[in-house]
Structure formats: structure tokens, C-alpha cells
């Protein structure tokens, strides 16, 4: 299965097993602009897989209401770039719903899916990685998978988690990433990072598409510098797995964090400052952050904007040469 098919597979399982579950958003009824909901309306009916009017604040709040009534709501925001009209509903409402009511009411049955990240030519409004905005909101969970197997298992966990979740799907992987995804029902736990390859010299942390960039960087570092990198996929941005990263940095003494989103206020800053205070005595070099620049995401300059493997490789060189 490719990435989008693994999403469909997860949604199919939920619709089949949970009769209260519904899927809605802009253009999901005919299968979605990225084909993630193909066939689901025909299989489960138009009352369960339906188009909404074109309003992101409406989509998220409608989902909050469904979840507050005890049902399962899977809302789609067509591009993560367009999630901002719903920011108030996510931040002031969904995230605080349980807390403010003294746990009388909650909207834990809500999951918001949104395609995110660079796609080669998406420019300003079809490329954004807004996860750091949401990392500052107590009460929600934020998850980014790196491939089809992860996507299905993490999405099923998000949908069944008793808290509102935002699930960002790196859209460049929809067709390009293909793996042997189990057909059955399985879940991958939230708030657990995954060590993809063990190493001894430098810890590399990323999520989403950037994990694949860092995998290349690890190979280059091994070949060209004889440096052994430990590669970690963070997977859940909030609440994030401090222990796995700290444990790795205690071992390697060096940390590189990379993400597509702009540097200033990006989630790498949170990881860097936490690891700096957790692992101060183990750090042998300043933590490196390789990120998008502090500009809007540009159209024709995308190759120069991206935290690509060469920029990350250079950061590894800095770390080992410090």
C-alpha cells in the first residue's frame, strides 16, 4: 500500500468497527483531493462520509460537537495551510473542553487530519508544516507519521485516543511512499519516538518526510566521515517522548534536529532547550537545528529553502568537528 491507501485502510477499519464514526470535510465524499477517502462513502453511506460546506472553522467545530455528543468525528482539513481559520476552535475549544468542564464533557472522539509539508511546488499555501503552533496548546495531541505503516497505526491510535488529535500527513509521501502495510487492525502508541537505526556519535531527530532526509544523512556521514548516527523519528510532537531522545543524547553527546518549518519558534527549539537541560553534562557540542528559513515557504526557491541532506550533512560535520 502507498501512504494514501494506508490512510483509507485505517478509516475503513474505524467506520466498520465504530458505528458512531463519521468522516467529513471539503470534498471527501468523492474520495478526497488526495484520494484518501475513495470508496468509503459508497461502502458506509452518505450520512457517514460527507462533504461539508467550505469553512474550516465550521469543520473543526462541527467535529467538536459530534465528539461532545459521544460519537467519533474524523475531520479533514484539505491542506494544513488552511487549518488557521479553525485555530480558535482547536485552541480555545477542543483543547480545553475537558479541563474547563471539570471532566464532565470532552471531545476526545475528535481527530483532525490534514496534509502538510513540502511537495516540490506548493509555494506559500500548499507546503506549510504548522505543528509548532499546536505544540503550544495543552490538551491536544499532535502526530506526524513518516510512512504508510506508521500512518495507519498512528492514525488508528489518534482516532481511538480519548483526546482531540491533529494528524499531519506529509503529502509528498501520499504516492511516493510504498510499504507492506498489514491489512488488519493495529495501533502504534502515541508519545513514543522510534529509534530507526542505532549509532554512537550523533543523534539525528526528525519527523515526517524529514526522517527520510536524515536517513540519507546518516548514510553519507557513515560513508564520508565514518560517523555513526542514531536516527530517531519523533512521531508525536505533543506530548513528545523526551526520554528516548535524552537517552540517545546521553550516549552520543551530540544532537541534530531538523524540520521543514521555519527555525524561529519551530519545535526543534523545544527539543533543544529540553535536551540541553536534561543532558547538559553529556553534551559535547552545541545542539544543531537545521530548519526552514524564517521566510514564507517560496515557490521557485524551494530547493534552496529546504533543510535538505546537504545542509544536514554540514551540520553533522560541525557537530563532530566541534
Partner 1 sequence: MSVMQRHFFQVYVKSKGLQTCHLINRRVFHRLSANLYSQNPPTSKFDERPEFPGSKSEFISKLKFIDPDKVDGIPVYRALGRDGKILEDSEDPKLDSETVIKMYKDMTLLNTMDRILYESQRQGRISFYMTNYGEEGTHIGSAAALDQKDMVFGQYREAGVLMWRGFTLDQFMDQCYGNENDIGKGRQMPVHYGSKEMNFMTISSPLATQMPQAAGAAYAYKRAKNGLCVICYFGEGAASEGDAHAAFNFAAVLDCPVIFFCRNNGYAISTPVKDQYRGDGIASRGIGYGMPTVRVDGNDVFAVYNAVKSARDMCVAQNRPVLIEAMTYRIGHHSTSDDSSAYRSVDEVSYWDKQDNPISRLRNYMTNNNFWDEEKEKAWKLKARKLVMKSFAEAENRKRPNPEEMFNDVYDILPKHLEEQKNEMKAHVKQYKENYPLEHYDKLF
* Residue ranges in contact with partner 1 by CB under 8 A: 20, 22, 47, 50, 52-53, 55, 57-58, 61-71, 73, 85, 88-89, 92-93, 96-106, 108, 138-139, 141, 162-163, 191, 239, 242-243
Least separation, in Å, of the C-beta of 147 and partner 1?
26
Beta strands per DSSP E along the chain: 22-25, 49-51, 73-76, 110-116, 141-143, 165-170, 194-197, 202-206, 229-233, 236-238, 255-262, 288-292
- Cβ neighbours of 43 (radius 10 Å): 11
C-alpha–C-alpha distance, residues 190 and 160, integer Å? 11
> Which is closer to partner 1, CB of 101 or CB of 273?
101
Least separation, in Å, of the C-beta of 282 and partner 1?
19
> Which is closer to partner 1, CB of 69 or CB of 124?
69
Q: Render 245-303 in DSSP notation, one character per residue.
A: HHHHHHHHS-EEEEEEEESTT-HHHHHHHHHHHHSTTT--SPPEEEEE-SS---STTHH
- From the list 212, 207, 291, 213, the residue with the least C-alpha distance to 245 is 207
Least separation, in Å, of the C-beta of 185 and partner 1?
21
> Which is closer to partner 1, CB of 100 or CB of 121?
100
Query: Is there a catalytic annotation at residue 136?
Result: no
> Which is closer to partner 1, CB of 67 or CB of 211?
67
In the chain, % helix, strand, coil (3-state, to 5) comes to 40, 20, 40
The active-site residue out of 26, 56, 76, 131 is 56
Rg (CA), the chain: 19
What is the dihedral sign for C-alpha 115, 133, 305, 259? negative
Peptide bond into 287 cis (omega under 30): no
Helix, coil or strand: residue 123: helix
Least separation, in Å, of the C-beta of 108 and partner 1?
6
Residue appearing with cell numbers 543524547: 249
Least separation, in Å, of the C-beta of 64 and partner 1?
5
Least separation, in Å, of the C-beta of 292 and partner 1?
26
Query: Is there a catalytic annotation at residue 212?
Result: no
Beta strands per DSSP E along 139-222: 141-143, 165-170, 194-197, 202-206
> Which is closer to partner 1, CB of 5 or CB of 52?
52
> Which is closer to partner 1, CB of 85 or CB of 253?
85
The active-site residue out of 26, 126, 131, 230 is 126
Helix, coil or strand: residue 146: coil
Catalytic residues: 56, 126
Amino acid at each position: 500500500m502507498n501512504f494514501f491507501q494506508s490512510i483509507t485502510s485505517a478509516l475503513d477499519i474505524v467506520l466498520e468497527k465504530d458505528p458512531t464514526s463519521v468522516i467529513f470535510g471539503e470534498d471527501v465524499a468523492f474520495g478526497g483531493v488526495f484520494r484518501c477517502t475513495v470508496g468509503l462513502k459508497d461502502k458506509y453511506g452518505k450520512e457517514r462520509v460527507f462533504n461539508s460546506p467550505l469553512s474550516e472553522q465550521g469543520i473543526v467545530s462541527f467535529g467538536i460537537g459530534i465528539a461532545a455528543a459521544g460519537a467519533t468525528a474524523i475531520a479533514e482539513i484539505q491542506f494544513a495551510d488552511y487549518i488557521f481559520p479553525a485555530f480558535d476552535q482547536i485552541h480555545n475549544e477542543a483543547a480545553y473542553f475537558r479541563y474547563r468542564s471539570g471532566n464532565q464533557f470532552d471531545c476526545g472522539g475528535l481527530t483532525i487530519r490534514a496534509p502538510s509539508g513540502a511537495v516540490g511546488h506548493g509555494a506559500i499555501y500548499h507546503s506549510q508544516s504548522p505543528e509548532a503552533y499546536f505544540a503550544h496548546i495543552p490538551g491536544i495531541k499532535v502526530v506526524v507519521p513518516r510512512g504508510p505503516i506508521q500512518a495507519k497505526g498512528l492514525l488508528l491510535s489518534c482516532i481511538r485516543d480519548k483526546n482531540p488529535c491533529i494528524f499531519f500527513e506529509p503529502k509528498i509521501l501520499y504516492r511516493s511512499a510504498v510499504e507492506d502495510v498489514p491489512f488488519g487492525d493495529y495501533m502504534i502508541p502515541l508519545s513514543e519516538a522510534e529509534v530507526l537505526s542505532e549509532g554512537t556519535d550523533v543523534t539525528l531527530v526528525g519527523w515526517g518526510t524529514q526522517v527520510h532526509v536524515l536517513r540519507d544523512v546518516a548514510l553519507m556521514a557513515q560513508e564520508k566521515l565514518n560517523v555513526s548516527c542514531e536516527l530517531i523519528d519523533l512521531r508525536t510532537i505533543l506530548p513528545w517522548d523526551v526520554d528516548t531522545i535524552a537517552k540517545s543524547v546521553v550516549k552520543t553527546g551530540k544532537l541534530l534536529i531538523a524540520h521543514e518549518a521555519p527555525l524561529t519558534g519551530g519545535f526543534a527549539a523545544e527539543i533543544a532547550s529540553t535536551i540541553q537541560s536534561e543532558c547538559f553534562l553529556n553534551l559535547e557540542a552545541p545542539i544543531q537545528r537545521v530548519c526552514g528559513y524564517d521566510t514564507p515557504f517560496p515557490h521557485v526557491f524551494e530547493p534552496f529553502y529546504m533543510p535538505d541532506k546537504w545542509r544536514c550533512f554540514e551540520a553533522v560535520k560541525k557537530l563532530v568537528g566541534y
